Amino acid sequence: MERYNKNKQDSIAQDIALKIQHGLYQAGTFLPSEHQLCDLYGSSRETVRRALSQLTELGLIQKIRGKGSLVLDLQRFSFPISGITSFQELNKTLEMHATTEVLQKKTAIIPAHLAAGRVDEGRTALHIERLRKIDRFPIVVDEDYLLNPPIKDVPDNAAANSLYAYFEKELGLDISYATKEITVETVSPRIAALLNLDNSKLAVVVRSMTYLANTTPFQLTASYHRPDRFKFIDFARRRKISFK
Amino acid sequence: MERYNKNKQDSIAQDIALKIQHGLYQAGTFLPSEHQLCDLYGSSRETVRRALSQLTELGLIQKIRGKGSLVLDLQRFSFPISGITSFQELNKTLEMHATTEVLQKKTAIIPAHLAAGRVDEGRTALHIERLRKIDRFPIVVDEDYLLNPPIKDVPDNAAANSLYAYFEKELGLDISYATKEITVETVSPRIAALLNLDNSKLAVVVRSMTYLANTTPFQLTASYHRPDRFKFIDFARRRKISFK
DNA sequence: TTTGACAGCTTGACTATACAAGTTGTATGA
DNA sequence: TCATACAACTTGTATAGTCAAGCTGTCAAA
């Protein structure tokens, strides 16, 4: 296996995930039993089970009591786009051949529509505006606002490539969770022009706020997508917890 | 506590979730330590930890090593709409005062745009078409296709109220997971008329396929939302598993 | 006053064990 | 032949314990 994960359970999960992705464990078949996986990885059953529960959460397998862990059939194109994934990470795994153009990078006040209910109004942050293109066609405009602290500045090449790679690998930040909101809105003439929208000026707007493991918010983003190119794919499990 | 859950870990999770929702554990404060929760519920630490990990996954708490489990600040209006939740369940928890109109209920061939890549083309299913209104305004058209087996028929009042309640409580089905896909499309004149759309005829289309715990698919759905009323809220955690 | 070591708390990771419960094939008995 | 019982597998749930690692206040020494 040999992953860069420190944890035993994480590296087991990573290893099995790769074997599923590469067809070593085929959809519709069962994984080796938990006991066999214990032998295979030299670990206890609880550790194997924690690894399997990660794969269950991701939608890679379904556990069936008395039978085993069935590998689910997630076609490439239906692989979940939800979760916290950077555009560059998607670009790699989906082989989209996308390009990124940095349009702005300056300190600015966080606009009200992004700040509302998330962070103090009037607060300033490092604003980065980027245009994503696929095959020369504009697809997405990303408006990022990076909070200081914990982020003081961002080198130009990090903005052009992957902000997340810079945060995680260079700054050692522990990106943990995010809240997201998807709506459809009439956007400003500026955004409409960048995306080359028609008269309706409708775009899909994804607003998100991303947090570090210590619950510090560090990123506010509004992404404007061309509606004809937008596609959000999700895998969800029915929760046992109910409210009210 | 007293929940209808059979599991200790599930009832602990349910109990803590309700206490958070009702403000007994306030956002920004820490839960009792795992050791204290052990005493409180008379269980082992592992069981408590499994309960807490459910709450972590849901976005209700954030665990911080050395400190404790911090209750996160999920305002009512930003509570995740993702996951597998029926319209009626949302209606209850969000107090939307919605009404449902059953427009059709008959056996029909699953349309190609829904069947594509999910199920055999030309297969028939029980088709239920419903119009959801809030304050008399049409908001959503749901096109459900229920597969036989496992679903033979559906009583009229179940279609008007909650299909999920009928499936789970009456039929004893174990609804487990779903794949979803959100796009923006120009819809048919029929749907456009039902939703009272303007000339652009754009609607948000949510296509989903829902499965039982034994991996049997039982429901295909296409939901058409008025774009000006559509809002999708999600909570996501950064995954440790990477591909490629 | 400031610094540093440490005790005592917290969660994280892992192990070992036990029993319950669901599935499946096989052998036994009528 | 057929049905039943059972053995041998599977996963589910819960327990108890160990050590690592992160946080915080206290107390003692400089």
Same fold, B8-74 and B87-229: no
Type and span of the H or E element at A186: strand A175-186
Lowest mean pLDDT among A234-238, B73-77, B146-150, B208-212: B73-77
Contacts of B89 in chain A (CB under 8 A): 242
* Mean model confidence pLDDT for chain A: 90
Give the whole-angstrom CA distance, residue A198 versus residue A228.
11
For residue B1, the model assigns a pLDDT of 37
| Residue B59 pLDDT greater than 60, yes or no | yes
Percent pLDDT > 70 in chain B is: 93
| Range from A113-122, B35-44, B129-138 that averages highest in pLDDT | B35-44
Contacts 24+ apart (CB under 8 A), B88-91: B88/B161, B88/B162, B88/B164, B88/B165, B89/A242, B89/B162, B89/B164
Verify whether the Cβ–Cβ distance A82 to B82 is below 8 Å.
Answer: yes
Tens of pLDDT, residue by residue over A14-29, are: 999 999 999 999 999 9
A155 to chain B, minimum CA–CA distance in Å?
Answer: 23
- Which residue type, as a one-letter code, is found at position A139? I
Tens of pLDDT, residue by residue over A39-57, are: 999 999 999 999 999 999 9
The structure tokens 């034994």 sit at: B214
A130 to chain B, minimum CA–CA distance in Å?
Answer: 22
Pairing of strands B175-186, A232-237: antiparallel
Verify whether the Cβ–Cβ distance B72 to A215 is below 8 Å.
Answer: yes
Contacts of A215 in chain B (CB under 8 A): 62, 64, 70, 72
Contacts of A204 in chain B (CB under 8 A): 184
User: Coil, strand or helix: which one is A139?
Assistant: strand
B236 to chain A, minimum CA–CA distance in Å?
Answer: 5
Q: Specify the CATH architecture of the domain B8-74.
A: Orthogonal Bundle (1.10)
How far in angstroms lies nucleotide D4's C1' from the CA of residue A66? Answer: 21
Whether residue A143 contacts residue A129, with contact meaning beta carbons closer than 8 Å, is answered with yes
For residue A128, the model assigns a pLDDT of 97
Helix axes A8-21, A45-58, angle to 10 degrees: 50
| Residue A140 pLDDT greater than 50, yes or no | yes
Whether residue B161 contacts residue B88, with contact meaning beta carbons closer than 8 Å, is answered with yes
Give the whole-angstrom CA distance, residue B92 versus residue B83.
16
Q: Tokens in use for A115?
A: 């700040």
Closest nt to A62 (CA→C1')? D11
| Domains of chain A by residue range | 8-74, 87-229
**Alpha carbon of residue A208 to chain centroid:** 11
Give the whole-angstrom CA distance, residue B225 versus residue B220.
16
Whether residue B130 contacts residue B156, with contact meaning beta carbons closer than 8 Å, is answered with no
Instruction: Assign a CATH topology to domain A87-229.
Output: Chorismate lyase (3.40.1410)
Whether residue B230 contacts residue A181, with contact meaning beta carbons closer than 8 Å, is answered with no
For residue A1, the model assigns a pLDDT of 38
pTM: 0.92
Tens of pLDDT, residue by residue over A67-76, are: 999 999 876 5
